[in-house]
Structure 1
Amino acid sequence: MAEPNPDRRNERSRQAILTAALELCQEQNFAKVTMEGIAKRAGVGKQTIYRWWPSKAAILLEALRDRARASDDFPDTGDIVADLRDQMTQVVEVFNDPVSAGYNSGLIAAAQSDPDIAKAIVDFIVQPRVEHCANRLKVAQQAGQVRDDVAAADIVELLYAPLYYRFLLHTRPVSVEQLDLILELAFAGLTPR
């Protein structure tokens, strides 16, 4: 998905559009949100929105990127389990935030039929965080805190997949208790032998 030219955007209008999209997703759901509704709520013309974004999913992706910047960095206190718990707690909070939950699941659903949205989610949301986590895990592997015969990317999937499973399928609530269990079970097998 091509990035819109930020030099052509009015930041106040951009923020109004992102806020309107988030509010509408919280009030309704992703499927019911329309470009017309976003424009009306934001107090801008539809042409302004279409000039900057090709779809409502693209708007919500940008809003998600803006909100997710806080969880971009990975802590390094020297204790990999504590650092993972800290970062994974932020993920749990995002999944449980009523504003975030609707558009997170809506974007993931949109990605199933829109390869551009899927690629953008991976490129701009998922992959940077996977890289941060993998880099932190590699440091832990070098320090002897984590088995070094397991690829860091595989560990990332092992740890985060259960959170996404509950979030997307609504099997049970995503919770801090869940991530504590994930870490306990994972590190029983990840601790060097």
Structure 2
Amino acid sequence: MITPSVSDPSPRRRSEKSRSATLSAALELCAENGYGKVTIEAIAARAGVSKKTIYRWWSTKGAILLDAVTELVASGSPLPDTGDIEADLRTHIGSLVRLFTSPVIGPAYTGILAELLHDERLARAVNDELVIPRVALVYQRMRGAQEQGQLPPDADLPLAVEMMYGPLYYRHALGRSYPDEQRIETLVAHVMRALRTPAPS
């Protein structure tokens, strides 16, 4: 039996290196040429991997770019728990805006949103891998704030999450500029005010 060494990496390490190279290559090509001009062939050539290797993990370029965007959003949009729900939501929404307006993620995310309109499989993946986990994260943080008495016990938290994210998706889908720091503060303040206002009977 041959013991793997630094110079003879295990299959798992080789696979992870190829996967990481593929995701990086896809994002780079999308930023350079636009989503529509990205091809599996170009990604394979840039990443230094075979097309067979790529198709072992992904069926389309949209799936590759979704994986890349999902990883960066998960790591780059923290939702802290400082004890101040309003401040924590401002931090979270602000980090999302910076990600979606970055030259690395922005073009890929725009292309994915356009593609999912006529790719049902990609649409499901976007929902399952990107949207639902982020919504759940914000919901759980708001639920914690509710339990701490920062939000009313009857506050409609699922609706509040939609109110928080809705303007971001709306602006991105229509190609409008994202809110600046002051507008983000206003957005969060309005959502918090709506949560704390008793619903009409």
Q: TM (normalized to structure 2)?
A: 0.85
CA distance in 2 between partners of 1:90 and 1:192 (Å): 27
Consecutive unaligned residues of structure 1, counting only runs of 5 or more, are: 1-5
- 1:161 aligned to 2:163? no
Consecutive unaligned residues of structure 2, counting only runs of 5 or more, are: 1-10
Cα RMSD for the two superposed structures: 2.0
The amino acid of 1:179's aligned partner reads I
CA distance in 1 between partners of 2:14 and 2:77 (Å): 24
CA apart distance, 1:62 = 1.2
CA distance in 2 between partners of 1:9 and 1:50 (Å): 16
Match of 2:187 in 1: 182
Partner residue of 2:118 out of 88, 113, 135: 113
CA distance in 1 between partners of 2:79 and 2:114 (Å): 27
CA distance in 1 between partners of 2:178 and 2:135 (Å): 23
CA apart distance, 1:68 = 1.9
User: Larger Cα Rg: Structure 1 or Structure 2?
Assistant: 2
Partner residue of 1:123 out of 128, 137, 158: 128
The amino acid of 2:55's aligned partner reads Y
Using the TM superposition, name which of 71-80 and 100-109 deviates more.
Answer: 71-80
Kindly provide the CA deviation profile for residues 39-77 of structure 1, in whole angstroms up to 9, marking residues without a partner as x. Answer: 121122222212221000111111112212224653111
CA distance in 1 between partners of 2:186 and 2:85 (Å): 15
Match of 2:6 in 1: none
CA distance in 2 between partners of 1:12 and 1:137 (Å): 37
CA apart distance, 1:8 = 9.7
Going from structure 1 to structure 2, the CA distance change for 1:121 and 1:186 (only over 3 Å counts) comes to: same
Contact 2:97–2:178 at 8 Å: present in 1 too? no
The amino acid of 1:92's aligned partner reads V
CA distance in 1 between partners of 2:176 and 2:70 (Å): 26
- The alignment of Structure 1 onto Structure 2 pairs a total of residues equal to 188
CA distance in 2 between partners of 1:8 and 1:119 (Å): 29
Kindly provide the CA deviation profile for residues 99-126 of structure 1, in whole angstroms up to 9, marking residues without a partner as x. Answer: 0001111111111111221111111111
SS in 2 for 1:98: coil
Q: TM (normalized to structure 1)?
A: 0.88
Contact 1:111–1:118 at 8 Å: present in 2 too? yes
